[in-house]
Amino acid sequence: MNKSDAFQSFVLGGFECSSHRRADGRRLDLIAGTQHDRWAASDYAQLRAHGIRTMRDGIRWHLVEPTPGSYDWSSFLPMLHAARDAGVQVIWDLCHYGWPDDIDIWRPEFVDRFARYAVEVARLIRDETGEVPIYCPINEVSFWSWAGGDKGHIHPLTYGRGWELKHQLIRATIAAIELIRNIEPRSRFITAEPLINVVAHPDRPHDKDEAEAYRRAQFQTCDMLTGELWPGLGGRAEYLDIVGLNYYEKNQWYLGGEGPEVIHPDSPHYRPLHDLLGEVYLRYGRPMLISETGAEGDKRGPWLEAVCDEVDMALAAHIPIEGVCLYPVLDYPGWDNDRHCPTGLLGLPDINGHRPVYAPMASVLRRWQPHTRVSSMRIAADDPTDSASALSR
């Protein structure tokens, strides 16, 4: 693997920071649930010791703006200072599914409020750090539109309004980017959208067209940002910067049946990750980031190893992958039932904030973090080639 131009380390760590309300009305706060708010300085230091110098982390909008236009930074400043003092780089999620209770997400005021909040965050980060900031304005627009707008799983708990919610979130993203760039032109932005493959089951060939339409829907968010789709939303090419892609073991499935049936890697219908990445690069021509990836339990180490192998193949084909973000990097309490989800490099903290290390994953990191894999040597030795022809070899 080669050194990233945008990030301080190629393998990143992502802190679970969801803050939405569930269907039962309970608001989640995974930053508090993992005690990351209490032990941010220790968490950053532990990750840095494993070579992770760039991280995804979140700002809890509902805590920062408890009343309209009034900003309380007490939940965020300690984390910002801890990152600055630890010498680590953070990609800040401005909205990870959650928003203040007084806002109606369907009204135009949501867009205005989010943009004003975003620019206040950017002003604070500029004044406190002076570093080039990187933001993820709204996490997983596609998933949120589906889960909250179409299926009623999370707030706003509606059905059949996914398109409407997606449009609203895109408007808010564009407005935030515009205002942030006005006060800090150096700012960088990532998306964090699911990377999927959906095909018709061999027993249901009549689902072929529907499955392909579902698969292609994954590009809607980026197409809206660039203005290729629904240009009336205000999208332009410059709103798409680093294309962040979230990829997990269940991101390839057969359409229909009694429920999603995962396509396994040994299936002829499975598409290798490097092939999926090549398609995205050919579509947008932007640098890319695996903005989330990970597995649970004993699968953690092998999954990360497999993802890194695939990314290495993409790099060898001159596909510009800026990094791989291990997500979540901490074990966390599950959304629905608070069960312990063993997904992280680090576990739950002791009374001094020290977290146990999952050794198999640490071993994988030692092999991949130094950026000495074969792809780097190939890229340095070979003449530059077009990525499409490189992928076809």
CATH classification of the domain holding 211: 3.20.20.80
pLDDT at 9: 94
Question: Phi/psi at 349 (nearest 5 deg)?
Answer: -80, 155
Considering the domain boundaries, does residue 4 fall inside one?
no
Q: Is the peptide bond before 156 cis (omega within 30 degrees of 0)?
A: yes
Do residues 123 and 176 touch, judged by C-beta distance below 8 A? no
Going by their DSSP bridges, the two strands 188-189 and 197-200 should be labelled as unpaired
pLDDT in tens, 247-259: 999 999 999 766 6
Whether residue 384 has pLDDT greater than 80: no
DSSP SS3 for 378: helix
DSSP-derived secondary structure for 157-204? --BS-HHHHHHHHHHHHHHHHHHHHHH-TT-EEB--EE--EEEE-TT-
Stretch 198-217: mean pLDDT: 94
pLDDT at 4: 57
Cα–Cα distance between 248 and 193 in angstroms, integer? 12
Considering the domain boundaries, does residue 2 fall inside one?
no
pLDDT at 378: 37
Do residues 324 and 361 touch, judged by C-beta distance below 8 A? no
pLDDT at 260: 74
Whether residue 376 has pLDDT greater than 80: no
DSSP state of 131: S
Percent with pLDDT over 90 in the chain: 89
Stretch 272-280: mean pLDDT: 98
State the number of CA atoms in the 13 A half-sphere of 282 facing the CB: 15
Considering the domain boundaries, does residue 3 fall inside one?
no
What token pair was written down for 14?
A: 């992502």
Considering the domain boundaries, does residue 69 fall inside one?
yes
Considering the domain boundaries, does residue 64 fall inside one?
yes
pLDDT in tens, 70-110: 999 999 999 999 999 999 999 999 999 999 999 999 999 99
Selection from 318, 291, 329 nearest residue 307 by Cα = 291
Whole-model pTM? 0.92
Mean pLDDT of the chain: 92
Stretch 281-294: mean pLDDT: 98
Question: Which range marks the domain in which residue 340 is found?
Answer: 11-392
DSSP SS3 for 350: coil
Considering the domain boundaries, does residue 1 fall inside one?
no
Considering the domain boundaries, does residue 293 fall inside one?
yes
Considering the domain boundaries, does residue 144 fall inside one?
yes
Helices (H) and strands (E) in the chain, counts: 14, 14
Name, in order, each residue with C-beta under 8 angstroms of 27's C-beta and a sequence gap of 6 or more: 19, 20, 21, 62, 98
Residue 181's pLDDT band (cuts 50, 70, 90):
very high
Percent with pLDDT over 70 in the chain: 92
338: alpha, beta or left, given left = phi > 0 and alpha = psi -120 to 50?
left
How many domains is the chain partitioned into structurally? 1
- Give me the helix-helix angle, 359-368 and 300-316, nearest 10°: 10
DSSP state of 265: T
